[in-house]
Structure 1
Amino acid sequence: MDRWNRRRILLVSEIVAGLALATVPAAMWLGILTITQLVVVAFTQGLCFVFFGLAERAALPMIVPAAQVPAAVAQNEARSRGAALAGPPLGGLLFGLGRALPFLADAVSLAIGAIGLLFIRSDLQKRTSAPAEPLWRSAAAGLRWVWRHPLIRTAIVLIAVSNLVFQALILILVVLAQRQHATSATIGVMLGIYSGGGLIGALAASRLHRHVTPRAVIIGVNWIWAALLPLFTIAASPLQIGVIGAACAFIGPLWNVVIATYATVLVPNELLGRVTSAAMTLSWGVMPLASLGAGYLLAALGPTGAVWVLTAVMFIAAITATASPAVRRAPPLAAHDTSS
């Protein structure tokens, strides 16, 4: 992200992902579609998603004035959550009309995205001389920057913990609902309510971030999560589980907006791609472990016991956030906006 042309990365990611998707309906029409092809297409999609996401995050402060970065991050958060909420039912609807339609619609949307990128005239990265060091050493600079910056380092650890907890929680909540004799449709509604809370929170975050300090968000959100998680153990129905989940999801975007804005404002732009990559590797890398751990917890303790374990983990995270000197001394974002 920091060596290559970011505009080109964005364009190539969209085009390659679109072409990969377009091979699926073509193979359907020719009668040669295989599971192997679907796996390769899915892998290509994931690869392009990572490249596009990193380039987009690194390019944002080159397009948006510093004072508008929090609002821009909040709008991106709302967009992502809205797409995640609307995508699965839309995909199901299109698949019902024709098996090739979801793939065609995705390919067309990616083509539109690529065309839209052509209208961005801003330079998406600062002009720097090409680094002479090897790529692996240059990439490690992102990890070194994170390690040397106490606030960002602590924030990434807290993000990793919350990702661990909530990735595990989804599976546990499904089992908890099944124990209450919920049907598949009921579980779908429950998870829809859960996700809806995140979408509403993302829409609200664009305004809420102006009224609370980053320190209050980093500390307060973790304590709110620690207080909400035990409520799942006394929920009497899947609907109640969904509402509690929606409350958890509602405050998540505010947390994401504050942390992403800090990273965007504090990290030198020529390092932003590498720092974001390092942060995503650390914070997302726990998710597969979370799913595995959830399975073990369910087998050993059942859903109620598993929720209490996750509550204990979140309680420790809240204490860590409260005790961290870097978090307690976190400066207001406005101060950085002005200096920028």
Structure 2
Amino acid sequence: MSAGSPAASLWQSRDFKRYWAGQSLSVLGDAFAVVATPLLVLGATGSVVSMGLVTAMAMGGNLFAGFFSGVLVDRVNLRKLMIACDCARGALWGGVALLFWLAGPQIWSIYAAAAIAACVGNTFQVACITALVRLVERDQIIEANGRLQASYALMSVAGPALSGLVCARVGPVAAIAINAVSFGLSALSIATLRFRDPAPHADHDVPVRRGVLRDLSTGLRFIWRHPQLRAIIALVAATNLVVAARVDLLVFHIKHDLRQTDASVGQVFSLVSIGAIVGAIVTPRLRRRWGFAACFLGGGATVGVASAAVGVLTTPVTVALAAMVAVFADTIRSINAQSLRQECTPPHLLGRVTASWWLLTSSLAPAGAALMTALITRLGTAQVFLLGGAWLVLLAFVGVFTPIRERRPAAPLTQA
């Protein structure tokens, strides 16, 4: 690795390393919640449909935030906004834990916290995408995303296993409280960062400040005018129709069909996360060697095949291995899509474009989460996983006939 390479220069960036460490700790807390929240709902209600409703509430909050998060990110102080979002999420989930401890199971609080925290979390994630391009150079984006995703996945190996142990010994509420604390650590790390101001832009057709409605439409119009981004959004939205409830389905499969313990659920999720680590590490190399199309479409098809296998396998180890392959491929697909969006979008539009992206790709997710969990009660786990996997393979095949098939991404656009 040469001293002047993008990967080498990232090690010399103090701000990126602080950002990387803070967000990794936050993801460790999120990994606790990924296991604890479904277990908390399942323990309180005994219903997979209730699990799906919580996920649908979160997806709905995420979808609602898409109408304003991009405008907010592009207009206000980025550091202050991210700190405020972390503090709000910490207070929400800390409040849920406190309420359960003092008053017993209060399922309504989980519904409310899931929706509001998802709304705030959407704003934070849009800000994170924008923050990255103010911390690193353009030729470092794919390396930075790969490094972030690798550490996130590493935290997701330890998190579920620890969460499973915590849930088994002291209950899921304690794991939710740990997640709340992690948001405070993230806020502290962000307070130390120095973001570059976005470069002056020549896009006088659509100024940054020209009314909220105009700002909302700016991101949508930019995506529509970029052929690859437009095609990717359509495929990702259709994908989210069946993958929105994947965590709920996997937890239910392990607990109900395979009759495993809470600790076993955490161990399976830890094994699954290894796929994300490997996927994040190899993504930059695969992108350079194979190009965008092979990584994105090939990853989507592999997710479909592996997801179908999860439903028909009958031991925790084989289920974990199949899910690991699915997460490996999905990580490659996701990093490529995110990096392409960052590379092709002018910095002063990135918040609005990212929010519009998530608004469109999440449009079917709430209905998908409710639908897939409801179908399990009618068709059974194996059939639902098989249907979902077949749908994902079909979408990858359709993508071959769209602008996504180009080996290299389109040149960056400078006009909205």
Q: TM tier, shorter chain? A: 0.7 to 0.9
Name the residue aligned to 1:274: 352
In structure 2, C-alpha distance between the alignment counterparts of 1:82 and 1:91, rounded to whole Å: 14
Name the residue aligned to 2:81: 9
Cα separation, partners in 2 of 1:226 and 1:41, compared to 1, 3 Å: closer
SS of the residue aligned with 1:182? coil
Name the residue aligned to 1:182: 259
Name the residue aligned to 2:187: 114
Tell which deviates more after alignment, 48-57 or 180-189.
180-189
Name the residue aligned to 1:141: 218
Cα separation, partners in 2 of 1:177 and 1:112, compared to 1, 3 Å: closer
In structure 2, C-alpha distance between the alignment counterparts of 1:300 and 1:97, rounded to whole Å: 34
Q: Does the 8 A contact of 2:242 with 2:372 survive in 1?
A: no
- Normalised by the length of structure 2, the TM-score is 0.67
2:143 is equivalent to residue 71 of structure 1:
yes
Cα separation, partners in 2 of 1:40 and 1:228, compared to 1, 3 Å: closer
Residue 143 of structure 1, CA deviation: 1.4
2:133 is equivalent to residue 61 of structure 1:
yes
Task: State the identity as a percent.
Answer: 23
Q: Does the 8 A contact of 1:218 with 1:321 survive in 2?
A: no
Cα separation, partners in 2 of 1:153 and 1:181, compared to 1, 3 Å: same
Residue 266 of structure 1, CA deviation: 0.3
Cα separation, partners in 2 of 1:235 and 1:16, compared to 1, 3 Å: closer
Cα separation, partners in 2 of 1:270 and 1:300, compared to 1, 3 Å: same
Q: Does the 8 A contact of 2:154 with 2:273 survive in 1?
A: no
Cα separation, partners in 2 of 1:249 and 1:66, compared to 1, 3 Å: same
Name the residue aligned to 2:198: 125
Q: 1:69 corresponds to which letter in structure 2?
A: I
Q: Does the 8 A contact of 1:59 with 1:124 survive in 2?
A: no
Q: 1:135 corresponds to which letter in structure 2?
A: V
Residue 54 of structure 1, CA deviation: 0.8
* Aligned positions, number: 333
Q: Does the 8 A contact of 1:75 with 1:206 survive in 2?
A: no
Q: 2:405 corresponds to which letter in structure 1?
A: R
Q: Does the 8 A contact of 1:24 with 1:33 survive in 2?
A: no
1:149-168 correspondence to structure 2 within 5 Å: 149-168=226-245
The correspondence for 2:306, drawn from 213, 217, 228, is 228
In structure 2, C-alpha distance between the alignment counterparts of 1:200 and 1:311, rounded to whole Å: 22
SS of the residue aligned with 2:75? coil
In structure 2, C-alpha distance between the alignment counterparts of 1:301 and 1:106, rounded to whole Å: 34
Which runs of no fewer than 5 residues in structure 1 stay unpaired?
none
Q: Does the 8 A contact of 2:133 with 2:141 survive in 1?
A: yes
In structure 2, C-alpha distance between the alignment counterparts of 1:220 and 1:193, rounded to whole Å: 22
In structure 2, C-alpha distance between the alignment counterparts of 1:176 and 1:32, rounded to whole Å: 30
Q: Give per-residue Cα distances to partners, 1:121-142, cap 9 Å, x unaligned.
A: 2324345797453212211211
Q: 1:154 corresponds to which letter in structure 2?
A: A
The correspondence for 1:82, drawn from 149, 154, 160, is 154
Which runs of no fewer than 5 residues in structure 2 stay unpaired?
1-72
2:293 is equivalent to residue 215 of structure 1:
yes
Q: 2:272 corresponds to which letter in structure 1?
A: Y
1:307-322 correspondence to structure 2 within 5 Å: 307-322=385-400
Residue 314 of structure 1, CA deviation: 1.5
- Normalised by the length of structure 1, the TM-score is 0.80
Q: 1:56 corresponds to which letter in structure 2?
A: C
In structure 2, C-alpha distance between the alignment counterparts of 1:315 and 1:49, rounded to whole Å: 30
Residue 192 of structure 1, CA deviation: 3.7
